[in-house]
Amino acid sequence: MEIDTANSTISNSSVRDSLLVEQDQTSRRKKKLKFIIILLIVFTFIIGAIISVFTTMKQDFESKSPAKNPTMAIRSICSLTQYPTTCFKSLSPIYKNNPSSKINASRIFSFSFHTAIDELNKLSTLLSESNDRSLKHCESMFNDSVRQLNSYLATLDVNFRNELSFVVSKSLRELMGWLYRETPKLEVCLNKLRFEYMLSSRRVLSNSLTILSNMESVSEMFYPIIGSDQSMVASFLSNVQFVDTLCIFGVQYILLVFLFCLLLRLL
């Protein structure tokens, strides 16, 4: 009888212990599930914060880029020329005629290129009607320049649609070499044109040649290289607010890695 009572007590104790263990395991599973849900919420918050920070920084940088600010871009480009006011007036149609289209280096280049050819043709025609023999040499030089520019234009036109191939094209490098040699000679002739009716063409042509000769600087405005003052990296690092944001992002990233490792251990 005592043995049966002892066995019954042991059995009841085992059942009770089993229930306690099961309840404890259930409680732990619930706590683990709650903790995992909290971790997932924190994950979502941190990832959302990181995406938000990068989106804000990207939008801020793009809002200051020349492609998004055609007026600012054209003023910066025209600051390279001898007649910036005339330059701005002549380049403004690039975006005024098609405001929805982005302004870029190839469009600036193409417009300046065609403007230079048009003005050279115009000046050549005006000189052919002039009786000033001292300008005949300039007329011949303008005609030769038009032919040369047209030959370059034929090879470059295909690249205007592709920004990267345009910037690195062999024809562009050859044109830059030709401009480097010929622009000073053309400027000498332009300085001889004192007639009022030639003044506007002279200024526009001078500006166009200057822009074409400085296409590397113009291209860098739109495609800044790493380390340059205009690059995205340099722009961010010079911004105190960005440095603070970067520190916050670093802390968030470390926390994200820690939580991820903790979650893997719990699963």
- Looking at the fold, whether 37 and 92 belong to one and the same domain comes out as no
DSSP state of 238: T
Distances (CA, A) of 107 to 94, 203, 212, 241: 8, 20, 12, 34
Burial classification of residue 137, based on how many CB atoms lie within 10 Å of its CB (0-12 exposed, 13-18 middle, 19 or more buried): middle
pLDDT tens string 162-183:
554 555 566 677 777 887 788 7
Q: Which residues of the chain have pLDDT under 70?
A: 1-25, 57-68, 94-95, 97-102, 156-171, 194-198, 223-253, 256, 259-260, 262-267
Does a structural domain hold residue 14? no
pLDDT in tens, 34-76: 777 777 777 777 777 777 777 776 666 666 666 667 777 788 8
Do 112 and 200 fall within a single domain?
yes
Give the pLDDT of residue 196: 57
Are residues 40 and 140 both part of a single domain? no
Query: Do residues 259 and 42 touch, judged by C-beta distance below 8 A?
Result: yes
135 and 177 in a common domain = yes
In a shared domain, residues 158 and 117:
yes
CA distances for 3 relative to 6, 9, 11, 16, 176, angstroms: 5, 10, 12, 20, 109
Would you say 233 and 105 are in contact if contact means Cβ atoms under 8 Å apart? no
Judgement on whether residues 237 and 212 belong to the same structural domain of the protein: no
Question: For residue 258, what pLDDT is reported?
Answer: 72
Q: Do 45 and 175 have their domain in common?
A: no
Looking at residue 147, its amino acid is R
CA distance linking residue 62 with residue 45, whole number of Å = 25
Separation of alpha carbons 7 and 208, rounded Å: 106
Domain holding 252, by residue range, is: 20-62+233-266
How many whole angstroms separate alpha carbon 137 and alpha carbon 189?
9
* Cβ-based neighbours of 163, under 8 Å, separated by 6 or more: 104, 105, 106, 223
Rounded-to-integer distance, Cα 140 and Cα 148, Å:
12
Tokens of 34: 């709650």
Clarify whether residues 122 and 26 are in a common domain.
Answer: no
Question: Are 119 and 245 in the same domain?
Answer: no
Q: State the pLDDT at residue 238.
A: 45
3 lies in a domain? no
pTM of the model: 0.54
User: How far apart (Å, rounded) are the C-alpha atoms in residues 249 and 242?
Assistant: 10
